[in-house]
């Protein structure tokens, strides 16, 4: 067995124990990671969003895409400033981050509505075929992005609850005594 996979007396792999210890010290990292996943997911699929905006040209589509990118980055910055190390959380930054996440969710929902309107309008509706499949992909990306943002908001709101639960997990390591601790000279004399 490798050193990382060695079982501790609590019957937990060492890498998992170290992960839980780091999460116990700084549980707010979980919310930041979810926000980062949402940002990266949206960024990697931005081509579908841009192509959909260019094809449909609905009112405010470009602004929604821009606002989503901008507030995704700024919400992560606010989140980082919301939980300073060894200090109490900064409530105004948490509120600002929550407002930004709300704007992102609104923009995603508005954009989804514009896609649905373009597909179902009575005059000249857009049809999804092999040339316009990116519209369906953008629709799915926006739905998934909205779910991830809602999850980030819920995780941030529940931070006090799961941080207490994380502290209850026993991550201590049993140190064995071989009976020779009394013979160790700690006086410093030679």
pLDDT in tens, 14-31: 777 777 777 777 888 888
Q: What is the mean pLDDT of the chain?
A: 84
Give me the mean pLDDT over the 116-138 stretch.
88
Query: Does residue 60 have a pLDDT over 60?
Result: yes
- What whole-number distance in Å separates Cα of residue 144 and Cα of residue 149? 9
Report helix angle 91-120 to 133-157, nearest 10.
160
Which among 184, 32, 181 has a CA at the least distance from the CA of 97? 32
pLDDT per residue over 73-112, tens digit each? Answer: 999 999 999 988 888 889 999 999 999 999 999 999 999 9
pLDDT of residue 44: 95
Angle, CA of 130, 136 and 137, to the nearest 5°: 95
pLDDT of residue 105: 96
Any idea where the domains of the chain sit in the sequence?
A: 46-164
Cut 0.85: pTM above it: no
């Amino acid at each position: 067995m490798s050193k990382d996979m060695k079982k501790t007396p609590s019957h937990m792999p060492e890498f998992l124990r170290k992960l839980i210890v780091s999460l116990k010290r700084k549980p707010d990292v979980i919310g930041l990671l979810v926000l980062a996943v949402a940002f990266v997911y949206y960024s990697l699929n931005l081509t579908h969003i841009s192509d959909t905006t260019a094809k449909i040209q609905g009112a405010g589509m470009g602004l929604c895409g821009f606002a989503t990118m901008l507030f995704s980055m700024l919400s992560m910055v606010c989140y980082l400033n919301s939980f300073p190390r060894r200090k109490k959380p900064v409530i105004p930054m948490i509120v600002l981050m929550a407002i930004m996440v709300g704007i992102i969710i609104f923009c995603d929902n508005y954009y989804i509505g514009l896609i649905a309107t373009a597909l179902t309008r009575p005059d000249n509706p857009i049809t999804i075929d092999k040339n316009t499949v990116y519209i369906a992909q953008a629709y799915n990306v926006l739905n998934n992005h909205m779910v991830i943002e809602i999850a980030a908001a819920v995780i941030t709101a529940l931070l006090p609850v799961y941080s207490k639960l994380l502290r209850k997990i026993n991550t201590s390591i049993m140190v064995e005594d071989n009976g020779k601790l009394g013979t160790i000279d700690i006086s410093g004399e030679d």
